[in-house]
Structure 1
Amino acid sequence: MQPSFVASACDASCPFPLNNLPYGVFSQKDTSRSVCVAIGDRPLVTAKTAGTIFSEATLNAFLALGKPAWLEVRVALQDALSAAPKRQNMQAELMPLQSDVTMHLPAKIGDYTDFYSSLNHARNVGTMFRGPENALPPNWLHMPIGYHGRASSVVVSGTPVTRPCGQLRPNPEAPPVFAPCRLLDFELEMATLIGGPENELGKRIPMNEAGDRIFGFSLMNDWSARDIQKWEYVPLGPFGAKSFATTISPWIIPLEALEPFKQEPQAQDPEVLPYLRGESSMRGHCTYNIDLTVKLQSVAGELPSTVCRSNFKNLYWTVAQQITHHAVTGCNMQPGDLIASGTISGEDASAFGSMLELSWKGTKEIALENCDSPTTRKFLQDGDTVVMEGHAVGNGFTIGFGDCSGNILPASKE
């Protein structure tokens, strides 16, 4: 652990030690929004240390500066917040406890793309709907596939989620109906916030440059209306079933904070085309040992029940490959773009990252162990709260991501 004069940042279990320093945007009562970093149990705002970026209401201007500026600011912050006595004048720059401020979306999201990069998840879903012999689409092992989501409905953790309405076809022998979603689901994902100078339209981003576009990571819940999705997704893929809400955690963990947790990328067979090949030494062409947990709270006041334990290392396609393939046709990636991993599922059933998998398309009951009376779920009900957590545990320190949570409200009558 890197020691700091902020006492709360020196506990081995603290999610925001000096090793981390994630970025966010916060406000206090009657104040405007400001960029901040988390240190211990407090947000920090200081123009003295990092120039003018902390006077901004979003991270977008800082994202556009690129990796050299990100590294320079990170070094300055770590120096200013170290345990050296001469730095203790920084105490005056610390804001009230994180629990006493309001967190907002860290950036203005320009575009949002959701990938489908976990082999276990793809196989599970494909097996359910097409059988094990046709589980993977023909292209899945050759490129990271994804779809363009709706940036306007990306919300910060704690924002309630209204059950969507749409066209359903519960009876395949009858016409579709308009009704509230009956099979509401979560998807455990990680999101990457894109930064750096925008590549010119028509210019690709090679693998050896893709990592320089990765500013950092957050947790993501890609809420999904499975019955709406089933009826609408052929032939063009998800639409309304995914566009009603996507929740991200409020803190963006810098890529540098995750360096101690890098792991070799998964072996890819068949070998990918040359433009997707890279060395594990390349920034972002790896996996990370980050423990991910999903908890479900069924009634206010009850303790949440853990329903999933997965890990970031369960991704088949790396973030560098996602970015390179995203831009291979000449798509211009802009600061503030968000790309998501897709559901991160492990091999064991306890590591499945969605209710669709955990209940195996509704054929199994999921027991919630912390309820006063026996309670089960197949899909999410009104009043349920989903909480996602992420932690990477190092030698005497922890890198945390903050909660990614949302409470489900009944469908609107309008």
Structure 2
Amino acid sequence: MSFEPASPAAPTPSDTGRFDFRVAARYAGMESSPLKDIFALAARPDLISFAGGIPDPDLFELDDVRDCYDWVLTHCGHRALQYGVSEGEVELREQAARRLSRDLVTTPDQIRVTSGSQEGLFVAAEAMLEPGDVVLVESPTYLAAVQVFAVHGARMVGVETDDGGVLPDALEAAIRTHHPKFVYLIPTFQNPTGRTMDLARRRAVADVLERTATPLVEDDPYGELRFTGDAHPPIASFGAMSAQTLLMKSMSKLMSPGVRIGWIRTEGAILDTLAVAKAAISMQSSVVDQLTVARYLETKDLDAHVAHVCAVYRERRDAMATAIAAVLPAAAHVTRPEGGMFLWASLGPAYDAQAMLADAVAAGVAYLPGWSFFAEDADHSTMRLSYVTHSPAVIADGIDRLGHVIAAHG
């Protein structure tokens, strides 16, 4: 028996004695990520963390959720613990369609279940993107979406925004210049800025997308968390947009993030492709969790729960907005969202939020530097702060600590 000599490029033990795997180029340099760092900061008991959009666990309806799990295990038995279908369990798709039909007529066969809207983004990217494709995104946009699209080889182009969201004229110009595979938008309580597109802006964006026949991936995990103002329907509900939109929804921010259940609503042949992509990624979402969420939506008052959560979040938003206004530099700008989970602060060109973070952590407070939310031309003076995790008193304490750090860097 003979052996071929090992290729010079083959993996070999490193100088430390550990074996070095050759990772895919798309993951090179990604030993960590802002998302991973968020949860590490949130777990530190010595920190007041505003870094992650982590719901307060005291607001979870534990008894209702337990009741639904008990019912599913009692009445669905072995089915709940068995493999399911990639499209999603029919009971959940029926409940999702019923809830979506408040704004956009939807049938169960137009729903594909995912393990949260985060997996929904990965499924959509897997189904549609080829290396080199262009995706247009808001500037700034959701950082994990940037990672998902980049991992699939896409080139992201940021489109100009204002306090009302993406600018329709800038969007149309970018579409005609870059010919994107799709546009990715978060129209309601956008992550990271908290901005919301009003009705006129949504109509204008829908008109641009229809006229240019450009697909839309519309991400809406926060839309029901409204404190003030009027609710707006999704862009998918305007004109013929329902046929060219993947509308992403999630139960994470409404029921609990530990139950990783969301769904995609769309129409046409792409539904089959999404099911194939989902099967390749994870076969199916947890059947017992799907059936539990379906039971919850059928028998519990989610609207009442959301109203209670929104009342608490509104008080916390007001506490953070009041506290931070007193510590920001004169030239700074901060959003005051009508709902959702985040404030977005721009400190001004003299500040670097990434460089400030170590001092902030040393002072016992954390935030997420804003540069990671930009596909290009990052504004390093920005930061995202979540107000949903802590009480108003803790928020005031944390912002006071942050204020001392900002003043020291001014």
* Pairwise same-fold verdict (TM > 0.5): no
TM-score range, shorter chain: under 0.3
Name the one with the larger strand percent. 1
Rg larger in structure: 2
TM-score norm. by structure 1 comes to 0.25
The two structures have a TM-score, normalised by structure 2, of 0.25
